[in-house]
Amino acid sequence: MAKDGKAAARGKQERLVSAAVELAHRQGYRKTTLADLAEAAQVPLGNVYYYFKTKDDIGEAIVQHRESEFEAMRAHLDGLPTPKARLVAFVDMTMRNAATVAKHGCPMGSLCAELLKDGGQLAERSNALFAKPMDWMERQFSALGYADAAADLTLQLQSSLQGASLMTQSFRDPALLEREGRRLKSWIEAL
């Protein structure tokens, strides 16, 4: 019986984190209330306070969830045979989210921008959402033989993806991210 209780509690906490991630992306972290979170996760409001003492605790859970999403994606990409194939697949994954980006923005970029405006420890923590993928990209460019230019190439790739994501959201046009993605894939293939 104790195992069932722990599993139920873990399930409730996972529902709360999933709801927080979705709400923060769809309507913004600042606009998401604890009541919104309880309703979306279908748990009593008091349970939110049981699992998360502060809104920053919820923000930390969101950042951790996004980090784990990247780690899962990285594990998949690292199974591809070449650094070039991995970088192209990274761009492909971004392009596949074009409709969602058009509607709600880049899940990582929007969250980072919002948290950085608030400042504090959570803002500092959110830097990892860009730092980890960029570190991974830099290793890919280095493995392609561009060690001296890897940081610059990484900045170009990440900036292009984030800029296209912002334009895609601003104009509500997935084709913009898809078009930039095709250009970036050609650029990577030509390296």
> 54-107 pLDDT, tens per residue?
999 999 999 999 999 999 999 999 999 999 999 999 999 999 999 999 999 999
pTM score, whole prediction: 0.91
Domain total of the chain = 2
Give the CATH number of the domain where residue 12 resides: 1.10.10.60
Residues with Cβ within 8 Å of 141's Cβ and at least 6 positions away in sequence, in order, are 83, 87, 147, 149, 150, 153, 154, 191
137 and 175 fall within a common domain: yes
CATH of the domain at 141: 1.10.357.10
Q: Which domain holds residue 6?
A: 1-53
- Is the confidence at residue 52, as pLDDT, over 80? yes
3-state class (DSSP) for residue 82: coil
Q: What is the pLDDT of residues 14-27, one digit of tens each?
A: 999 999 999 999 99
What is the C-alpha to C-alpha distance for residues 65 and 63, in angstroms, rounded to an integer?
A: 5
Q: Do 113 and 80 lie in a common domain?
A: yes
Note whether 30 and 108 are same-domain residues: no
